[in-house]
Chains A and B, each alone.
Chain A
Amino acid sequence: MARVKFLCDADRCIECNACVTACKNEHEVPWGINRRRVVTINDGKPGERSVSMACMHCTDAPCAAVCPVSCFYTTADGVVLHSKDLCIGCGYCFYACPFGAPQYPKVGNFGSRGKMDKCTYCAGGPEADSSPAEYAKYGANRLAEGKLPLCAEMCSTKSLLAGDGAIIAEIYKERVMKRGYGSGMWGWKTAYADSPTG
């Protein structure tokens, strides 16, 4: 079974934010929820790099480990999803996530922060695939239609890759060999250290 991952080639990312726009549009993500974001390191200095960051769908997901109501689950493809019906909006997943993926509709913790929302790898949630209920809660389910996440599809420089972890790692390695340099697969050690395909 394919174990899907994200890979952002920091040397190709031009901070165009097409990935962000694609995600926002595809899932009608409200303002204030940032499923995907582009972070620029060393902005304006030599060695400026941009990285497109969203949920990495980690192998041993820390969000799933700390959730008090255990609302997370990992699909057979390795996608980490959660149930908004069980989520109590406590915010623990945000404390644990190294990548800052969880987002909340409200800012205070009192009452409720609202249900946590995050990148779903365009794989929806526990509701029925491609149903309106699923779209309203979790956004589009492209994986069920056999498509890859839209952020990677829309990347203007093909720096953001999504798909089978082994395949995209191979693509990236070829690139590094061809051009002679590479920053490494950003976040892979943190997210996929325990993944059998590396």
Chain B
Amino acid sequence: MPGSFSVLRFAVLKPVFAALALLFVLASPAAAQISFKPTAEAVHEDKLLNALKEGDKISGRVSIPDGNAANLIQPAGRDWRDFHRGKLPWIGGITILGMLAVLAIFLMVRGRIRVRAGFSGRTMLRFASFERFTHWLTASCFIILALSGLNVSFGRVLILPLFGPDAFAAMSAWAKLAHNYLAFPFMLGLVIMFLIWIKDNIPGKLDLEWIKQGGGLLPNGKHPPARRFNAGQKGIFWIVIIGGALMSVSGWFLIFPYLLGNVTELQVWTVIHAVVAMCFIAVMLAHIYIGSVGMEGAFDAMGTGEVDVNWAKEHHSLWVEEQEKAGAPSGRSPHAVPAE
């Protein structure tokens, strides 16, 4: 009968085929074990991490639209953490505290840089009100940006113990907002400063001479000639423009992180932002020092815009000559009180 024959056939053939298959598997050289495990160590943590280049990530496929979710592990985060908690405090401490120390020593050793001929009582216009406005706009934003930024880096260690977590967190939240929003008027100030002062800040041979002669910082008190801006000021200008540009670009990516959408690049920009910030703050401390305590007669330039003629002759002799040739409006009489 056909049915029983096929059953018989099936009953006999099946185990025969199975035995043959087993024989085949056992006989083939690679199949020493029954179990088969292709690339069983595909996600072995050590192997994958060792195979990664510096700063790279292990990513896979996710069903989530957020690209960041596809990253399984980003080891660079550990290096970033080490930098922010290890190296950066040293960098910041050395540059900022170091600069403060240098300035203190300079003040003690050299003292305040005086006007040798004494104040004449006559003044001349150095900075117009729009220039002063731009400077103070940028400077006041810089102060808040610097303090709020330093709070992010150091506040937890220096300030949190003084105020307790709730007050500190509330203050830090406002500081972060101030940092984010004041960055924009700061950037505007930078752009305006660049436009109005670039022409007087092109470096030249005279600046080399000025530097060689010590720029008036040396105790002999010799003041090499300079135009509107001496080499030191030009240095400050370019540090502000270049440093400010770096801060702006890095800050832009941090404030709009979805532009990059890549955590590794964002880490690089935070490092740039932090390191440039520390150096920037240190340099600005020197700038603030020389413009206030460090040199008498200097603050007036940005304060009222009018500087004493003797001061100007000592520090910017060529500029005074240019101004007098151009018949620039001389300042007020010694007893008039400036309107501003």
Contact = CB atoms under 8 A, between A and B. Distances in A.
B257 A108 contact: yes
Contacts, number: 168
Interface residues of B, number: 60
B85 A65 contact: yes
A70 B156 contact: yes
Interface string B40-66: 111111100100000000111111101
A112 B177 CA distance: 8
A85 interface: yes
A54 to B, nearest CB: 11
A189 B46 contact: yes
A86 interface: yes
A90 interface: yes
B152 A39 contact: no
Interface stretch (B114-122, B161-169, B227-235, B307-315): B161-169
Contacts of A67: 156
A32 B37 CA distance: 37
Contacts of B77: 62, 95-98
A123 interface: no
B317 interface: no
A112 B153 CA distance: 18
A183 B64 contact: no
B43 A188 contact: no
Contacts of A85: 166, 169
B169 A71 contact: yes
Given A110-B181, A182-B40, 10 more contacts: A41-B43, A48-B42, A62-B81, A86-B165, A90-B176, A96-B78, A108-B255, A108-B257, A111-B177, A180-B33
Contact of B74 (A43, A90, A100): A100
A42 to B, nearest CB: 6
A66 B180 contact: no
A185 B46 CA distance: 10
B204 to A, nearest CB: 41
A47 interface: yes
A41 B165 contact: no
A105 interface: no
A11 interface: yes
B61 A183 contact: no
B80 A96 contact: yes
A49 B40 CA distance: 9
A91 interface: yes
B73 A190 contact: yes
B251 to A, nearest CB: 10
B23 to A, nearest CB: 22
Contact of B180 (A17, A110, A189): A110
Given A65-B81, A97-B77, A46 B38 contact: yes
A88 B153 CA distance: 14
Interface residues of A, number: 61
Contacts of A183: 40-44
18 contacts: A17-B63, A37-B62, A40-B61, A41-B43, A46-B38, A62-B77, A65-B81, A68-B151, A69-B172, A86-B169, A96-B77, A98-B78, A111-B177, A181-B40, A184-B46, A185-B45, A187-B45, A190-B75
B143 interface: no
B60 to A, nearest CB: 4
B40 A109 contact: no
B257 A99 contact: no
Interface stretch (B4-12, B95-103, B263-271, B291-299): B263-271
A39 B59 contact: yes
A49 B37 CA distance: 12
A98 B74 contact: yes
A66 B78 CA distance: 10
Nearest to A10: B43
A18 interface: no
A40 B70 CA distance: 8
Contacts of A108: 255-258
Contacts of A39: 59-62, 69-72
A62 B78 contact: yes
Contacts of B62: 37-40
Nearest to B65: A32
The 9 closest A-B pairs by CB, nearest first: A47-B39, A47-B42, A86-B169, A181-B40, A39-B60, A62-B81, A41-B60, A43-B61, A96-B81
A180 B155 contact: no
Interface string A1-23: 00000000011000001000000
